[in-house]
Amino acid sequence: MNTLTVQPSRFSQYLSLTKPRVTQLAVFCAVIGMFLATPDLPDWHIVLAAAAGIWLLAGAAFAVNCLVEREIDARMARTARRASAQGEISLPQILLFSALIGGAGIWVLYFLVNPLTMWLTLVTFIGYAVIYTIILKPATPQNIVIGGLSGAMPPALGWAAVANNVPMQAWLLVLIIFVWTPPHFWVLALYRRDDYAKSGLPMLPITHGMKFTGLHVWLYTIVLVATTTLPFAVQMSGLIYLFSALVLGAIFLYYSWNIYRHYSDMLARKTFAFSIVYLSLLFAALLVDHYLKF
C-alpha cells in the first residue's frame, strides 16, 4: 500500500522557522507587561503594534537560530523535520526572511510604538541570535542560565511600549522568567538527552549527568517560587496573585522534587508541559490581580 506524504506548504515551512509556540508565549508575557504598565487599559493601537513588532523580531531571532543550528537540528529527532535542517530552505533564503521580518519589526516598533521599545527589542534579538545561539550554547552547559536574560525580556519590552520606561516592577517580571528558564529547559534536556548527546551541545544532563541536573531543577524551582513572591513583597500585586503564585509554585515544587528523587521520562515530559502552563497562569494571575487587587 502506498502511503501519501503531505508536504508542508512553503508558508508553513517559513512560519516554523519562527518557532510560533515559543513566540506566542513571549508575546503573551509582553502583552501582560503592557497591561501592568498602566492603572488603566493601555491604548489598543500600542498593544497591537507592539505585539506585532515584538513577534516579528522574535521570529527573526528564531529564524537565525534555525540557520545557525541547521546541522545540529538535522541530528536530533525533535528538530530533524525543520525545513532548515532538511535543506528545503537555503541559507540565503533564511537570512533574507529573517532580515525582512526583523526589519519590519524594527520599523513597527520605532515608528508606531517608541524608540526605547525598538532598541530594547533589538538588543534582545542580538542577545538571543548572536550571544546565546552562536557563542554560549555550544560553549558551556550553563548556556541556558547565562543566555536566559534575552528570553526573559518580553515583559520589559511590553512595559516600555506603554510607559516608555522600564521601572523596577518590569525588571521583577524579567527576573521571574529568568529564574524559570533553567528548570523549564533542563527537564526538556533530561528526556531528550539522547538527542542532545547526538547534537554535540554541552547540555547539563550530558556533561554532568541526570542526578546532577535533577538536583538543579529542584534548586532552581525553590529559587523560582521565592522569586515569584517579590511582586507581592513590593506591593506591586495583592493577595489574588500571591495565592496563585504559591499554589502554582507548590505544584511545580512537587514535580521538580520527583524529577530529582524519582525520575522518569514520562514525569519529565509532564513537568515540561506544566512549566509552560505555570508561567502562563502566573502572568495571567498578575493581570487579574492588577485589576481586582485587594
pLDDT range class, residue 6, cuts 50, 70, 90: low
pLDDT range class, residue 7, cuts 50, 70, 90: low
The mean per-residue pLDDT over the stretch 38-56 comes to 97
- What are the tens digits of pLDDT across the range 132-163? 988 888 888 888 888 888 899 999 999 999 99
**What confidence score (pLDDT) does residue 231 get?**
97
Grid cell listed for 151: 528570553
- What are the tens digits of pLDDT across the range 264-280? 999 999 999 999 999 99
- What are the tens digits of pLDDT across the range 101-122? 999 999 999 999 999 999 999 9
**What confidence score (pLDDT) does residue 285 get?**
97
**Alpha helix (H) residue ranges in 69-164:** 70-74, 91-108, 115-126, 143-146, 148-152, 154-163
For the chain, percent of residues with pLDDT exceeding 70: 97
pTM assigned to the model: 0.94
The mean per-residue pLDDT over the stretch 60-68 comes to 94
Average pLDDT of every residue of the chain = 93
Whether the predicted pLDDT of 72 surpasses 90: no
Whether the predicted pLDDT of 48 surpasses 50: yes
Report the alpha-carbon distance of residue 148 to residue 180 in Å, rounded.
Answer: 9
- Label residue 40 exposed, middle or buried (CB < 10 Å: 0-12, 13-18, 19+): exposed
